[in-house]
Structure 1
Amino acid sequence: MKRLKMDREQLTTQQQQNPAEFTEEQYKSSVALLENIQRLEREKHELEFQASRLRGSVPRFPVATAPPQTAALLKFCLRIRTEQNQLKDIKFDFIPGKDSADALSNDLIAAGLLEMKNIVVVAANITKLVENPSQKKLIFPLGNMPPSQLEEKKLIGYAQLNLIE
């Protein structure tokens, strides 16, 4: 590559100093040589670019890495009683690594599907199921009723969170 660079510099100098001494054949030859030099320089830059990309994608030291985990979509169903004492099923999706239990609970409140007083307990139980999806179902107290009125089987004062397959 250095030789080609020197040839180009010499050729340019000769053309500038003695333009009349160049025959048409020499001129065509010099143009072809310059085009060849430019092509080789483009190829060199392309190879350098590819090499830099390869260096960036290959670790320099052997590192034990876990295989990339795909964020599996988790589907939930929250069964909860409304203030009118009606059971309501609220279905929603959760993407681990992207969604958070707190943000999801806030979204349920913003949509009018969950009461503010239940936000912490619902978020905590979403987190439990996300961390242990083999559990599939949780029934938990909401803490908004006196203990004498609680009925777990009828979900009075309780909520049920299911992980749907």
Structure 2
Amino acid sequence: MENATEMKDVLQIVVHAFLRMEEIGQQPNCQFVHQNVSDVSAHDQNMRDRKHLLEQLNEMTKAAARMEKQSREMAFSDIMEYDPEKHNWYMPGLRHGVPLMAPVNTGYSESVCELKKYLFEFIENRSWKRAGKDIPDFIVWLKSLWKSVKHENFIFSFRNSLVAEAYHQLSVKYAEWE
């Protein structure tokens, strides 16, 4: 999604979920796919924005780690593999102009094909490092992850981790005063 605020809010939920998964030895990979990007040079022009996003993700991860009572200082890359240079994809719009009568943009198909090729190569290269999972195992794992996320009420009732951490600190101070 291109709304940075919404994307950060969603990523904070992801950070909390995968921070807990780190305990079982899982380190997922994060790929950002930006859609409807009109300029082919967007990747180079947005490097500053990607670095800023990574700084914010690091800050969110530190806040989440404090809330999860992790003893060490953590960065986003400690729980999720992410390289701002390689893991950002920019997809042009599917059509040139107004939909329905507009011609199809061939750049869209080429970008999607390039991403698909990269992901298959990535999966193939990582598969030798860990025990292979077949589709049914992956489905069971994903259902388990989703069930865990659905039953976590406290952290997801806040807009983001920083607000939740502020609420937690306020609760601790209030308890001390009481």
TM-score past 0.5 threshold: no
Q: Larger radius of gyration, structure 1 or 2?
A: 1
- Structure whose residues are more often helix by fraction: 2
Of the two structures, which has the highest relative contact order with CA contacts closer than 8 Å and spacing of 6 or more? 2
TM-score bin, normalised by smaller chain: under 0.3
Give me the TM-score of the superposition, normalised by structure 1.
0.22
